[in-house]
């Protein structure tokens, strides 16, 4: 009897749906019962052979079986998916209340710290902070600073020359020139920045280092003004009195020119590699602006005078933090940088 086999198929399939041990097995049962060539489909084909009065009853039975089985499959699938999700959530459980390691904080480079401190100081004294190009031309780096073509500083050994007569600035002094050109007198400016020299590297020499240029142009500027600002500067930098000495120094762009030295803060005088065993460190070359320099930038030296200085920021950082090798500063080693 066709009705018996439908009922028998239904209950057998329902039982197998319940007991299927894997998704693969469940799918096999589904194909076997409900697939296009499955048992229900085969039985459906037999319907044609039935007496017309039996067809509606058997057809209803067949449809009922089909719907029950489909519902059972879906229920079982939902149940499996739920179980799988629960298993996954259990396996991947994360304790969100557990304290995480905090974000790592960055550090300002010691030179940046000193630079910012000095910018603040000079701004409070009425100075403007100027920027200049690291790729300079010969005019601003040399000519306009009264450095003649025969001066040893122009030697290939010291300067990184670029194509087209350009160069990497060897000091921050060209920003003086740009400042005078742009702002005119009276003028108070500083220019911190990176400079480059074609030198062999050792504990106290780098090809790349930092300077801070300063310049003041006004009426009747004298060495007394220069000394006042330099003393103010040094006290602010070292937060204490440092021993200094002033020597005559030659720089083509100042006249008279001076070398302001401070007693070495690393060894305190007896001598060490940083002060080249001399006990003193050249820190602050300075002087009164050479009239030629004023004139070349369009300032009348009869009307105006000025002082200028070039502070070695890198050397200063070494003194301040007692760093005994300049190579640490550009080395990028976090173990070094994290100390500041």
Query: To the nearest whole angstrom, how small is the minimum distance from the Cβ of residue 202 to ligand DAH?
Result: 18
Query: Phi and psi at residue 190, in whole multiples of 5°?
Result: -125, 155
**C-alpha–C-alpha distance, residues 208 and 78, integer Å:** 69
Q: Smaller CB distance to ligand DAH: residue 213 or 261?
A: 213
CB neighbour list of residue 310: distance below 8 Å, 6 or more residues apart: 171, 172, 173, 211, 212, 213, 214, 284, 285, 286
**C-alpha–C-alpha distance, residues 223 and 279, integer Å:** 26
Query: To the nearest whole angstrom, how small is the minimum distance from the Cβ of residue 258 to ligand DAH?
Result: 8
Q: Smaller CB distance to ligand DAH: residue 13 or 173?
A: 173
Query: To the nearest whole angstrom, how small is the minimum distance from the Cβ of residue 310 to ligand DAH?
Result: 2
Residue 309, Ramachandran bin (φ over 0: left; ψ between -120 and 50: alpha; else beta): beta
Query: To the nearest whole angstrom, how small is the minimum distance from the Cβ of residue 312 to ligand DAH?
Result: 8
Provide DSSP, 165-230.
Answer: G-EE-SSSTHHHHHHHHHH-SSEEEEEEEEEE-----BTTB-SEEEEEEEEEEETT--HHHHHHHH
Q: Smaller CB distance to ligand DAH: residue 13 or 176?
A: 176
Query: To the nearest whole angstrom, how small is the minimum distance from the Cβ of residue 172 to ligand DAH?
Result: 7
**C-alpha–C-alpha distance, residues 152 and 149, integer Å:** 9
Q: Smaller CB distance to ligand DAH: residue 28 or 246?
A: 246
CB neighbour list of residue 328: distance below 8 Å, 6 or more residues apart: 336
Query: To the nearest whole angstrom, how small is the minimum distance from the Cβ of residue 96 to ligand DAH?
Result: 57
Query: Phi and psi at residue 296, in whole multiples of 5°?
Result: -65, -25
Cis geometry, peptide bond prior to residue 145 (ω within 30 degrees of 0): no
**C-alpha–C-alpha distance, residues 271 and 280, integer Å:** 8
Minimal CB distance to ligand DAH: which residue? 310
Q: Smaller CB distance to ligand DAH: residue 70 or 158?
A: 158
CA trace torsion 54, 55, 61, 64 (10° rounding): -160
Query: To the nearest whole angstrom, how small is the minimum distance from the Cβ of residue 210 to ligand DAH?
Result: 11
| Interacting residues with ligand DAH (CB under 6 A) | 171, 173, 213, 251, 254, 285-287, 308-310
Q: In sequence order, what are the beta bridge partners of 310?
A: 213
Residue 244 sits at the vertex; the CA angle it makes with 327 and 224, to the nearest 5 degrees, is 120
Q: Smaller CB distance to ligand DAH: residue 146 or 173?
A: 173
Q: Smaller CB distance to ligand DAH: residue 179 or 310?
A: 310
Query: To the nearest whole angstrom, how small is the minimum distance from the Cβ of residue 170 to ligand DAH?
Result: 7
Q: Smaller CB distance to ligand DAH: residue 13 or 290?
A: 290
């Amino acid at each position: 009897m066709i009705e018996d086999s439908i009922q028998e198929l239904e209950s057998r399939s329902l039982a197998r749906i319940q007991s299927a041990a894997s998704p693969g097995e469940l799918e096999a049962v589904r194909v076997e019962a409900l697939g296009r060539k499955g048992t229900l489909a085969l039985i459906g084909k037999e319907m044609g052979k039935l007496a017309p009065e039996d067809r509606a009853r058997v057809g209803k039975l067949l449809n009922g079986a089909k719907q029950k089985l489909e519902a059972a499959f879906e229920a079982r699938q939902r149940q499996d998916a739920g179980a799988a999700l629960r298993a996954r959530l259990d396996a991947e459980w994360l304790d969100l209340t557990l304290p995480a390691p905090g974000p790592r904080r960055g550090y300002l480079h010691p030179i940046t710290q000193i630079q910012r401190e000095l910018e603040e100081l000079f701004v409070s004294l009425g100075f403007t902070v100027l920027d200049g190009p690291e790729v300079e031309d010969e005019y601003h780096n040399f000519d306009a600073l009264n450095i003649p073509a025969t001066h040893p500083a122009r030697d290939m050994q010291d300067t990184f020359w670029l194509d087209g007569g350009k160069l990497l600035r060897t000091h921050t002094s060209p920003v003086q020139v740009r400042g005078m050109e742009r702002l005119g007198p009276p003028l108070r400016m500083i220019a911190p920045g990176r400079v480059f020299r074609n030198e062999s590297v050792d504990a106290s020499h780098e090809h790349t280092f930092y300077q801070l240029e300063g310049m003041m142009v006004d009426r009747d500027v004298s060495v007394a003004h220069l000394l006042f600002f330099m003393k103010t500067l040094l006290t602010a930098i070292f937060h204490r009195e440092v021993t200094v000495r002033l020597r005559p120094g030659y720089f083509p762009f100042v006249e008279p020119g001076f070398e302001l030295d401070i007693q070495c803060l690393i060894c305190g005088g007896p001598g060490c590699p940083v002060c080249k065993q001399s006990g003193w460190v050249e820190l602050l070359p300075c002087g009164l602006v050479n009239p030629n320099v004023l004139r070349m930038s369009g300032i009348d030296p009869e009307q105006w005078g000025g002082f200028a200085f070039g502070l070695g920021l890198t050397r200063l950082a070494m003194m301040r933090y007692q760093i005994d090798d300049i190579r640490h500063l550009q080395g990028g080693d976090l173990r070094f940088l994290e100390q500041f």
